[in-house]
Structure 1
């Protein structure tokens, strides 16, 4: 037997109140957010404190701070609320042309500028009421993808970083090296000697965040001289223009790079491993007709 209360006896409206309180860290602001009176939300906070046996919000001077338990709860509350919302918004028959659902997708700025942009454009033609929330990922989100994808619809990510999650293959790209227009050391092509000798700007450089091409450079016995790290493929050309640095971007961004900055794109002096891009998603969405539509529209957009 357990002393934990049955979920059947819990008021799920308290989950809404808990999420607002943990986000706003203020009864007044949380009440305003939920369009409730302050006494009503104070009553909800009292019930939550009784349930958890913890104050949740602790006054420090003129402000409130989250207790250690509240900090732990904050990691799960938003995901739980989103899951509950999806349960009650599910329909036996779903018409994308009539839907106002919002889909949330993580990705790098490269994948959002390519797959995200094209997906949103195609969806606007097929389902004008559907909305998208495109969010930049980071190493922590990728490392915790199994949990993060419980409250998001997808993650644009090349193969090689995630396992044990379902995926939908999208498109294949490759790498190019960019250098400043009129670079004094480079004329018609980039050589391995250039790769080893010249300084670089990388997009990621850690054990869990890297690009396949930078790993290949190291596997060739070359330790690149990294002068700058910028976690943005779209911003990288600005760190190359007017310098003697080299940079790596996807071929799909080469035209963009040469348009926004005084840089030129070159083939790599080795056979770079292709980038096999996919959308990764949680198994809970496998038989969700709305998510099936999302997967199909993303795949179609990248075939056009």
Structure 2
């Protein structure tokens, strides 16, 4: 049975809304039209997709797996039809999806957003929160977004450019001692970003090489949550220095003094090779470089 693009759009709406009537409203179609589309999709997959339970519908296991794929497929379709032979920033109506951590967003993301707004008011930025799963599966993620901001040394075999440098630091509650010796670092509980085994956490290797094995009491994928988890406790948090300084300016935490360096971060922009010659993406990379220069000047 041949399927067309309209069925993909219907499938996405049905899976998102979990309702024929709501999907019809979302797409501006009649209920019978969506019911016919659902029937065709059920025949194609040999699966109910939407199963009625009482007065509502739930997704079948197959439908749950399809849910993410339909969104990605439609995003790729949009990319195909949005492609142009050239790119004029001042006249462009375009969206870029960039994966960043919440430590990069108020630093690099803000500078990038300000430059884009000034030069291309019709261009939208969609910042996607970086998660451990995205970092581990970064090569696959780059197929569905325009770029990913990650430290150098994590990925290979994909294009990248260096943005700005940062350092790992420890933060402690502002109402406690700011000087930590190796015994403090080993004995006190830690709040770590991501999982301790994540390759992004090069600072842990420095700690271990100095004889300190951090006792991770809490791990989180949100850097900006770390000051709240440290404040008023004896915990030690691990953060990039630039965002740690922002938090310390609010008097919640302070950057601790420790007897050795935790190492440097070189934040980089990564993208899939398919974007290499795209005029819009080339412009994005140029703006990213200038945004990173502004980050360095503000240090």
Q: What is the TM-score when the length of structure 1 is the normalising length? A: 0.89
Quote the offset at 1:85 in angstroms.
Answer: 1.0
Residue 54 of structure 1, aligned match among 47, 54, 63: 47
Q: Does 1:41 align with 2:34?
A: yes
Q: Which residue of the partner structure matches residue 282 of structure 2? A: 292
Q: Which residue of the partner structure matches residue 303 of structure 1? A: 293
Q: Does 1:142 align with 2:135?
A: yes
Whether the aligned pair in 2 keeps the contact of 1:79 and 1:150 (CA below 8 Å) is no
Whether the aligned pair in 2 keeps the contact of 1:139 and 1:209 (CA below 8 Å) is no
Whether the aligned pair in 1 keeps the contact of 2:48 and 2:60 (CA below 8 Å) is yes
Rounded Cα–Cα distance in structure 1 between residues aligned with 2:244 and 2:79: 39
Rounded Cα–Cα distance in structure 2 between residues aligned with 1:56 and 1:276: 45
Quote the offset at 1:256 in angstroms.
Answer: 0.8
Q: Given the superposition, is the C-alpha separation of residues 263 and 208 from structure 1 closer, same or farther in structure 2, using an over 3 Å criterion?
A: closer
Q: Does 1:128 align with 2:121?
A: yes
Rounded Cα–Cα distance in structure 2 between residues aligned with 1:71 and 1:181: 46
Residue 255 of structure 1, aligned match among 218, 234, 245: 245
Q: For the aligned residues, what is the CA RMSD? A: 2.0
Q: What is the TM-score when the length of structure 2 is the normalising length? A: 0.90
What is the total number of aligned residue pairs between the two structures? 294
Rounded Cα–Cα distance in structure 2 between residues aligned with 1:164 and 1:196: 37
User: Tell me, what secondary structure is at the counterpart of 1:261?
Assistant: coil
Structure 1: where are the runs of 5+ without partners?
none
Rounded Cα–Cα distance in structure 2 between residues aligned with 1:238 and 1:190: 20
Quote the offset at 1:75 in angstroms.
Answer: 2.7
Rounded Cα–Cα distance in structure 2 between residues aligned with 1:107 and 1:50: 40
Quote the offset at 1:206 in angstroms.
Answer: 4.0
Quote the offset at 1:267 in angstroms.
Answer: 4.4
User: Tell me, what secondary structure is at the counterpart of 1:214?
Assistant: helix
Q: Does 1:84 align with 2:60?
A: no
Residue 241 of structure 1, aligned match among 222, 228, 231: 231
